[in-house]
């Protein structure tokens, strides 16, 4: 019985871990692994790679009646038009600043929250707090924008009720350009704090408990253990997530900006993605909008590659 069990149980597992056996196993059963991967591959192929063919309209004077192939080529004319536009620097500034502020204030908060959560003594209390902080992530962006309009209404919002109650004057926050970035970043931190901490909590759970026990024997306090053990333990994860966020520095979520901004806040709220929407959908300048979107994508690719190169040169961590 032991011999039979060894062949069918632990013996097969051990054999599967030997290089030769593992390669033979893949030859026999590898199609199952590819079968599992097939839906993911099809998704990216159909919805991400095939549509890239349409990018060529950025170099054409596209007409829906002529189609993509028959529309005349214009080269870099649309790109030059965008670079010479009076909105070019405003769009770059707004896109960069909103992304930068979101990164500056939104990136450290999940890390700090995960570190503090790791210090809670009770597992039950920790689970309850985690679950409560995950909820805002699943709230629709439309609902978040609706809440902001309700809370910040100059006539019925409770924020202005407090302001006027203290003797101040009601402020129409969502029509004041100076308030837009603050509200965008603050609502984003509230919505993503708990969800963003998941990966750091998982990294903290993988740290060897004996390190904390040794630190206790040396008389280290909570802050010292957090600084010398917890933070270095999740440093590779922090660097990886930072690189991914830096690569998206010129990418601002279209939905929330579109729902919150208006003509009065274009000065600080109008970003490349909303400009592409207005140019391409509302004004039907399809080729020009495609050129602007392609420019933003190229800048994002350059930033991601550049920051990854810097990280690889300055540290041992990189995405590739």
For the chain, the domains span 2-50, 66-314
pLDDT of amino acid 178: 92
Q: How far is CA 151 from CA 92, 113, 147, 184, 207, in A?
A: 30, 26, 6, 14, 42
Alpha-carbon distance of 183 to 277, in angstroms, equals 22
pLDDT digits (tens), the chain, 320 positions: 444 444 444 444 444 455 567 667 666 666 777 788 889 999 999 998 888 888 899 999 998 888 888 899 999 999 999 999 999 999 999 999 999 999 999 999 999 999 988 888 878 888 888 889 999 999 999 999 999 999 998 887 888 888 888 888 888 898 999 999 999 999 999 999 999 999 999 888 888 888 888 888 888 888 888 888 889 899 888 888 888 888 778 888 788 999 999 889 999 999 999 999 999 888 889 999 999 989 988 888 888 888 888 877 877 766 67
Question: Which stretches within 170-283 are classed as H helix?
Answer: 177-196, 198-205, 209-217, 222-225, 231-233, 235-247, 254-260, 266-269, 272-277
134-150 as b/e, with b when 16 or more CB fall inside 10 Å? eebeeeebeebbeebee
DSSP three-state, residue 139: coil
3-state percent helix, strand, coil for the chain, nearest multiple of 5? 80, 0, 20
Strand partners for 73 = 60
- How far is residue 57's CA from residue 54's CA, in Å, rounded to a whole number? 6
Terminal C-alpha separation, the chain? 48
Instruction: Give pLDDT, residue 67.
Output: 87
At 261, is the secondary structure helix, strand, or coil?
Answer: coil
How confident is the model at residue 74, as a pLDDT? Answer: 92
Closest CA to 186 of 271, 105, 245: 105
- CA-based Rg of the chain, rounded to a whole angstrom? 26
Predicted structure pTM score: 0.80
Closest-CA residue to 198 (of 232, 241, 239, 229): 241
Four-residue CA torsion sign, 122, 124, 127, 128:
negative
Pick from 181, 311, 183: nearest CA to 245: 311
Tokens of 210: 């004996």
* Site of tokens 């190229």: 298
CATH code linked to domain 66-314: 1.10.3720.10
Opening angle at CA 294, ends 184 and 46, nearest 5: 95
Residue 48 pLDDT: 87
Strand, helix or coil for residue 152: coil
């Amino acid at each position: 019985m032991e011999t039979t069990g060894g062949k069918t149980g632990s013996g097969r597992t051990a054999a599967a871990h030997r290089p030769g056996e593992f390669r033979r196993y893949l030859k026999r059963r590898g199609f199952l692994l590819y079968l599992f991967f097939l839906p993911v591959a099809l998704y990216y192929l159909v919805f991400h790679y095939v549509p890239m063919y349409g990018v060529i309209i950025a170099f054409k004077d596209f007409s829906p009646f002529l189609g993509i192939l028959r529309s005349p080529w214009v080269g870099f004319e649309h790109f030059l038009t965008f670079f010479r536009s009076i909105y070019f620097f405003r769009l770059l500034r707004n896109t960069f600043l909103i992304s930068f502020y979101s990164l500056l204030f939104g990136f450290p908060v999940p890390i700090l929250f995960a570190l503090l959560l790791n210090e809670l003594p009770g597992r039950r209390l920790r689970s309850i707090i985690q679950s409560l902080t995950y909820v805002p992530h699943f709230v629709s962006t439309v609902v978040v924008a609706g809440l902001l309009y309700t809370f910040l209404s100059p006539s019925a919002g409770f924020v202005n009720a407090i302001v006027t109650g203290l003797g101040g004057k009601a402020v129409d926050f969502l029509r004041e350009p100076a308030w837009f970035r603050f509200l965008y970043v603050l609502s984003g931190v509230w919505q993503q704090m708990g969800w963003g901490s998941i990966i750091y909590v998982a990294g903290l759970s993988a740290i060897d408990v004996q390190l904390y026990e040794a630190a206790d024997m040396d008389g280290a306090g909570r802050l010292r253990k957090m600084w010398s053990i917890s933070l270095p333990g999740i440093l590779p994860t922090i660097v990886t997530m930072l690189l991914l966020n830096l690569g998206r520095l010129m990418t601002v979520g279209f939905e929330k900006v579109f729902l919150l901004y208006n003509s009065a806040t274009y000065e600080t709220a109008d970003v490349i993605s909303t400009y592409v929407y207005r140019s391409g959908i509302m004004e039907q300048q399809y080729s020009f909008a495609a050129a602007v979107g392609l420019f933003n994508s190229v800048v994002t690719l350059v930033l991601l590659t550049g920051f990854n190169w810097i990280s690889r040169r300055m540290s041992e961590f990189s995405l590739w």
